[in-house]
Structures are given as C-alpha cells and as structure tokens.
Amino acid sequence: MEDMIFYDRLQFAFTITFHYIFPQLTMGLSLMIVYFKWKYLRTKLEKYNNAAKFFMKIFAINFTMGVVTGIPMEFQFGTNWSKFSELTGGIIGQTLAMEGMFSFFLESSFLALFIFGEKLMGQKLHFLTGFLVFLGSWASGWFILATNAWMQHPVGYEILDNGKFVLENFSALFTNPWLLPAFLHNQFASIVTSAFVVASIGAFYILRNKQTEYGKLFLKTGIVFGLISSILVAFPTGDWNAKNVATYQPAAFAAMEGIFETEEAGAEIVLIGQPNMVEKKLDNKIAVPNILSFLTHQDWNKQIPGMDQFEENELPDNIPALYYSYHIMVGLGTIFIGVMVIALFFLWRKKLYTLKPLLWVIMLLVPFPYIANLTGWYTTELGRQPYLVYGLLKTSEGISPTVSSGNTLFTLLGFVALYMLLGLLFLVLVGKTINEGPKHQTH
C-alpha cells in the first residue's frame, strides 16, 4: 500500500510540476500583452504592437505545451486516484468542468483571433481579443484555485452515508476564505515569472547589441511589472496566505516555519536552519525572536502552536521537504525584490542599459521565478498532507485499489521520457522565436 501511494503521488507530482511550467507564464504574460497593445492604441508607436504580437507567439507555444501536458495529468484522476474522484467528484467536478467549458474555450478561441485576425478586425477589436485571452487565462486560474481551495479548506459540502461528498452550497465554493488570497498570490507570482522572462529577453538583446530598441522596451517593462508584482506576492497576498495556513492548518504552519516546540511567549521567525527529525529541532538555527507572532497575529507575545501540540499522524508526512520548499520560496522572493529595486534605481539613473553585470544577473535569473512558483505549490500541497481533503479524506483513502505500483512506475518512466522530448522541443521553439525577435523592426 505504501508503495502504491508513493508512486501515485510521485507520478502526479512529476506531471503537474512539468505542466505548471507553462501556465505560470501564460497567466502573467497575457496581462503584459494587453499592456503592450494598450500602449500601441494610445501612442500609435509600432514597437508596442510588435511587442504584443511577439509575446503572443511565446504565449501560444506555452499554451500549446500546457494543453498537451495537462491532459495526462487530468487522466490520473480516473486512473491513479479513482477513489478520490468517486468520493469528491460531485464537488470538484463543478469547478473543473467550468474551467474547461468557460475559461479554456475563451482563452483558446480568442488566442487564434489575436494571432490571425488583426487586419480583419482592426486595432480596437484586436485589443479586445487580447484582453479576452487575458480574461480566459485568469478565469482558468480562478476555477483551478477554487478546486484547490476546497481541498485545503472544505466548505459548503455534505457527506452522504456512502462516504461521497455532495455540494450543499454552490456559492460557498467561491466565497471560501482560502480562495481569494491563494488566487491573488498565485496570479501575482505568475506575473513575476512573466516579468523576469520579458526583462531577461530585453537584457539578452542589449548584451548581444541586437534589436536594442526592443531590448530597452522589454527590460524597462519587465522591471516595472517585476518590482510591483514581487512586492505584492510578499505583501499583502503572501502574508494573507500565511495567516490562513496558521488559522486553518496550524500543524502545517508549525512544520513550514520549523516550530518543533511551542514557545510560551512569542514565536521566533527562522531565517536559516535545518530540520533534525531525530532530535526534533532545527540545527544551525539563525532566528529573530517574537517576529513570527507579530507577523501572524500582530502581537509580539502571542503563542503559536508547535509540532509538539499535534498527534504524529496529523503532521505533514514530509516535514523537511515542506520546510525547505517554503524557505526557498520566501528566500527567492526576497532576492527578486532586491534585484528589481536595484535595477529600477539604475533605470532611473539612466545607467541600466550599459551596466553589463546587472544585465547578466537579470538574464540569468530567469529560471528562478519558476523555481519559486513551484516550491510555493510544493509548500501548499505538502502542507495539506496527509489529507487529500483537509481533515476529511486521507491520501491513502483516495488511490485506485486496482492500479499496481508497478504499472504506475512504468507509466511514470514513459512520462519522463516523453516530457524530456517535449521540453527540448519547447526550448527550440522559444529559442528560435526569441532569436528572430519582433517582426518589422524599426531601426
């Protein structure tokens, strides 16, 4: 049984990790495309229109890859997690169906119109199609996050005698106190990824002394979007999410903050430390006293329950992974704010475009927002364990009893091989698009 759970979780973790590489860019990039198109309508400068169309090409490649990798992930609900689907399908089926029927079709339909319909529709309708692509991508995030929010903090449900969950209050799915902070945090984090991608392409063009007009435009736009979104990810949305975890999942909060023992007068915030699961403590700890209590409850001396206050089977089942995921996410987010503040300062001083070391930093930082987004999701999902539906349905109760661990491992190896090929294809296509640059250059 333990092998079955491990391989089922491993396969889903791998497929959803690879899948989320793509939508985390498209959700943020769609907003930046709308910005470029709006700037073109206001200024009539062709470079903004070319920028919008250029990034829509990159958007389309990511969107296609997202669709291709999303389908196998969803099939696992019926193969590896059939019991979970059987018991909760009456609830999560609502939001997942709306995501497919409304937001996906909205996004895909108007994506095609944006790419191919500019001359036919005129500029104002072309802008509208771009805005509807943005609306569809964010609506998709909303419905997916509504599904996840219900799993994290179940509301509006009733459990029948046969163990199935049914929806008692439809509106509760979308007024769930977990949903709005999680959605905003996720969306601003996707803008961070997009902003770093846009800025890194700009830095690449400037460093190569190629298409420098677009390089300067992309760099400036990416820095402004990146700084604003990086701050919003940290506060208020990150703070709001952390308070939700402390309120609704206190065991997960203690684990991700590394609080092994409850402190009587105020909890410290850990900057550095390594979980020692044998001795139940943090090794090599550097911490600031009382800060965590203040950040969480605005009270320097407020007690926060440690892991010693919970039964062993109620704690997350991989505390080190949860702890490190959370601290990697927070650490990278802090670095992003610092880099963008420095970049904005030199942009204001009109020295950024000739400051090669900083341009190299911006260009080479592009993988790290992806890592921060993924570790943020690892924090969310590892924190919910050992439950699929927090407090109600254990992970061990949701797997398919007829799918063996051998079958799951075999298909996982197939996914790894296939996704390596898809990843290489993706890099080639995006690299070729970036190398070509925006069309109809003005020199």
Task: Count Cβ atoms within 10 A of the Cβ of residue 278 and give its class: 0-12 exposed, 13-18 middle, 19 or more buried.
Answer: exposed
Question: Per the confidence metrics, is the pTM higher than 0.85?
Answer: yes
Please state the φ and ψ torsions of residue 159, each to the nearest 5 degrees: -105, 120
Whole-number Å distance between alpha carbons of 32 and 55: 9
Encoded amino acid at 82, one letter: S
Helical ranges in 21-104 per DSSP H: 23-43, 46-75, 82-98
Position 285 in a domain: yes
Position 3 in a domain: no
Instruction: Provide the 8-state DSSP code for 157.
Output: E
Nearest Cα residue to 88 out of 160, 145, 36: 160
Torsion of CA 236, 241, 243, 249, to 10 degrees: 180
> From its phi and psi, is residue 73 left (phi > 0), alpha (psi between -120 and 50) or beta?
alpha
Half-sphere exposure of residue 353: CA atoms within 13 angstroms, side-chain side: 17
Position 362 in a domain: yes
Nearest Cα residue to 361 out of 327, 330, 336: 336
pLDDT digits (tens, 9 = 90+) for 138-153: 999 999 999 999 999 9
Position 47 in a domain: no
pLDDT digits (tens, 9 = 90+) for 300-328: 999 999 999 999 999 999 999 999 999 99
> From its phi and psi, is residue 54 left (phi > 0), alpha (psi between -120 and 50) or beta?
alpha
Position 84 in a domain: no
Q: Quickly count helices (H) and strands (E) in the chain.
A: 16, 6
Dig out the tokens for 431 from the structure.
């690299």
Neighbouring CB atoms inside 10 A of 298's CB total 9
Classified as helix, coil or strand, 277 is coil
Supply the pLDDT for residue 441: 44
State the DSSP string of 383-412. Answer: HHTTEEETTTEEGGGSS-TTS-HHHHHHHH
Please state the φ and ψ torsions of residue 260, each to the nearest 5 degrees: -80, -40
Nearest Cα residue to 138 out of 22, 16, 26: 26
Supply the pLDDT for residue 263: 85
Full domain range(s) for residue 347: 180-375
Nearest Cα residue to 151 out of 375, 322, 324, 385: 385
Whole-number Å distance between alpha carbons of 329 and 371: 8
Position 329 in a domain: yes
Nearest Cα residue to 40 out of 133, 95, 122: 122
Instruction: Look at the chain and report how many structural domains it folds into.
Output: 1
Adjacent-strand bridge partners of 166: 158
State whether the Cα torsion 203-204-207-209 is positive or negative.
negative
Low-confidence ranges of the chain (pLDDT < 70): 1, 439-443
Contacts of 228 (CB under 8 A, 6+ apart): none
Whether 307 contacts 259, CB under 8 Å: yes
Position 222 in a domain: yes
Supply the pLDDT for residue 71: 87
Adjacent-strand bridge partners of 286: 272
Task: Count Cβ atoms within 10 A of the Cβ of residue 212 and give its class: 0-12 exposed, 13-18 middle, 19 or more buried.
Answer: middle
Whole-number Å distance between alpha carbons of 269 and 286: 9
Position 264 in a domain: yes
Supply the pLDDT for residue 440: 53
Supply the pLDDT for residue 1: 63
